[in-house]
Amino acid sequence: MEKTIPLLDASRFLEGSEADRMQFAKDLRDAFERYGFITLENHGLEQDLIDQTYKEAERFFALPEERKLQTSIPGVGGNFGYTPFGREHAKDEARADLKEFYHFAQRHYDQPDCPEAPDFVAAGQELYGRMEALAGELLKAVALSIDLDLDYFTQQVQGGNSILRVLHYPPAPDAPADAPRAGSHEDINLITLLVGSSADGLEVLDMEGDWIPVKAHGKHLTVNVGDMLQNLTGGLLRSTTHRVVLPKGSGRESSRFSLPFFLHPMGTMPLDPIMGDRGAHPCWTAADFLDHRLNEIGLK
């Protein structure tokens, strides 16, 4: 039987009874302990908004390189604005990923004018707000699942460093067979929400060492644990290694677009482990953790 990531119904937590909410939290914990990933249905994000964001992303990334570079924001470690192709790499990977991206953030810097893609910024900021709200609800479920106060994370993520990354993986027909669209890595943040991408390629490494393809197209989201949440829970919830691989054959000649939302807390949040294997995980703040990792992946 082919291995798959568990599929959960978000409406059980967002709209369900107290028993439904508790069962969702239990199922979420089970999945995050075993896989570090879930796919999510009935999450409430409008498909029209997702489709519009993808449409505007295609317009933006089709612009000449020099035009896109004018929307870069210097001095922020790639956290906001445009980052060009070949800049970021996975931790411990010398080769750059085959991607370019644009970041929207909670603290909106002045967005450079982009008349060639006039609705790109508006669509990205709207989707950012919707995904931030949903991520906040999912963190309530996480808190419930590990016997913390329901709002344990709420104050810590308001005003945090969360980002919506609009990703473009260009065609790569001549790249080596093992070239990474996104090399094997773990996410830095608390949790990540990923809108179903425009093409396959995402794979998750399970506890047996098998790579599991994640096919979350259409109306499903993918949600996964980041390193910050793993550290906070002393490894109880798993930040799982994942990657984006190149397709075989003619699929290499097409672009791939993706919309991950990385939920980050405020920099002052302590990530000292509060459960699990406390001795195996360091004590530091979210800001220190983020700065260390941005250096490791080449963005600072």
* Domain annotation covers residue 228: yes
The reported pTM is 0.92
For residues 31 and 141, the answer to whether their CB atoms sit within 8 Å is no
- pLDDT recorded at residue 76: 64
**pLDDT beneath 50: ranges in the chain:** none
Going from the C-alpha of 104 to that of each of 13, 182, 185, 246, 260, the distances in angstroms are 27, 20, 22, 26, 11
Q: Can you give the pLDDT at residue 79? A: 67
d(CA 51, CA 218): 10
pLDDT at residue 245 in the model: 86
Rounded Cα gap, residues 22 and 24, in angstroms: 5
Amino acid at 91: K
**Token code pair at residue 145:** 């699942």
Domain range enclosing 77: 7-296
In a domain, 205, yes or no: yes
- The pLDDT of residue 111 is 64
Distance CA 80, CA 13 (A): 32
Alpha-carbon distance 149 to 132, whole Å? Answer: 20
Question: Would 1 be classed as within a structural domain?
Answer: no
* Residue 44, domain CATH: 2.60.120.330
169 located within any domain = yes
What pLDDT is attached to residue 171? 87
